[in-house]
Amino acid sequence: MLGYGYSRVLVTGGAGFVGSHLCEQLLGQGHEVLCVDNFHTGTKSNVAHLLTNPRFELVHHDITQPLYAQVGQIYNLACPASPVHYQSDPVHTMKTSVIGAINMLGLAKRQKARILQASTSEVYGDPKVHPQAETYWGHVNPIGRRSCYDEGKRAAEALYFDYWRQHKVQIKIARIFNTYGPRMHPQDGRVISNFVVQALKGDPITIYGDGRQTRSFCYVDDLVDGLIRLMNSPEEVTGPINLGNPGEFTIAELANMVVVLTGSNSEVVHRPQPPDDPYQRRPDITLAEEKLQWRPTVPLREGLIRTLDYFQTLLGTGPRSGYPKVIQFEAAVQASQRAEIA
């Protein structure tokens, strides 16, 4: 169900980790895809395999600047997602979320296009309600080091709803929880890519703090399926809708899984926990199940194996020795005593 006039789909941040998978999926569905990226954290190599497709177009552009294009749908993913990267130029991160949102909403308004915002579980901050449902307003530090991202995304959500109320723009807001998979940048800084790269290289695995903080990890293919379902849902479904895997793991459990699965000799070391690091995070996905008939299908073990294979090839680290240890891995998962959904 494309917007009026044009069957072209714009993906901002399309050369990033999630965006590149989304572009691939949309092309596979027969769409024309305009991928716009400033290559801050994304790379041309992420979409190099798409460049020969005549329905794919790649444009170097920063969404803090106006963009004029003919499109029927807009997926607004442009924004660095790793704390290391969004904190490296916090002012630009905020500009990307706020000015970028205004520009993309202005484009959607002019084109009568449908627009989807990649929002985040970070709008819940360090949540005091667990698991997090969309009705929870969050617990965010407005002046901390994570604020450029958290508050930027919250401001973007507010702008989307104002354009919806004031200008009748068709909006969709996805609150994305921690997502992982192939094409994460090896120096991305997020926990799964860090642990996998460290384990494959035999470097120390860096747990920040005591490792008791939790996250819920969603495999990228599941997320992309959820984003496309949300975009094509009935007009009255605006969101915000949580998209994430409710399987919840401590960071120490994750480190253990990666070590066992890779058969790595890496030692686990502890480093200081960053300020305002959320203590717990787990999505309530009832709304996505009801409105989108969506739930994740890839369990963490399976997704980790696919991610390990990707990084092993990328880093040229040789055959992984961990396959025989999958049984130990199962034990590690059970030890977590937490039910994963898929």
Give whichever of 17 and 294 is closer to ligand NAD, judged by the CB atom.
Answer: 17
Shortest approach of ligand NAD to residue 100 CB, angstroms? Answer: 6
Residue 302: other Cβ atoms inside 10 A = 12
The separation between CA 32 and the C-alpha centre of its own chain, rounded to angstroms, equals: 23
Put the strands of the sheet holding 56-60 in their side by side order. Answer: 56-60, 32-37, 8-12, 73-76, 114-120, 171-176, 241-243
Binding site for ligand NAD (CB under 6 A): 12-13, 15-19, 37-42, 62-64, 77-81, 96, 100, 118, 120, 176, 178-179
Give whichever of 95 and 270 is closer to ligand NAD, judged by the CB atom.
Answer: 95
Active-site residue, selected from the candidate residues 75, 86, 124, 149: 149
Shortest approach of ligand UDP to residue 84 CB, angstroms? Answer: 7
Shortest approach of ligand UDP to residue 319 CB, angstroms? Answer: 25
38 binds, among ligand UDP, ligand NAD, none (CB under 5 to 8 A by kind): ligand NAD
239 binds, among ligand UDP, ligand NAD, none (CB under 5 to 8 A by kind): none
Give whichever of 17 and 24 is closer to ligand UDP, judged by the CB atom.
Answer: 17
Binding site for ligand UDP (CB under 6 A): 66-68, 82-83, 102-103, 106-107, 109-110, 178, 190-191, 194, 206-208, 213, 215, 251, 273-274, 277
The question of whether 180 is a catalytic residue gets the answer no
Contacts 24+ apart (CB under 8 A), 155-161: 155/97, 155/98, 155/101, 156/97, 156/98, 156/100, 156/101, 156/117, 156/119, 157/117, 157/119, 157/123, 157/240, 159/98, 159/101, 159/102, 159/105, 160/101, 160/105, 160/115, 160/117, 161/238
Residue 165: other Cβ atoms inside 10 A = 10
Shortest approach of ligand NAD to residue 9 CB, angstroms? Answer: 16
181 binds, among ligand NAD, ligand UDP, none (CB under 5 to 8 A by kind): none
Give whichever of 273 and 312 is closer to ligand UDP, judged by the CB atom.
Answer: 273
Instruction: Enter the DSSP assignment of 242.
Output: E
Q: Cα(12)–Cα(66) distance, rounded to whole angstroms?
A: 13
Query: Which residues are catalytically annotated?
Result: 149
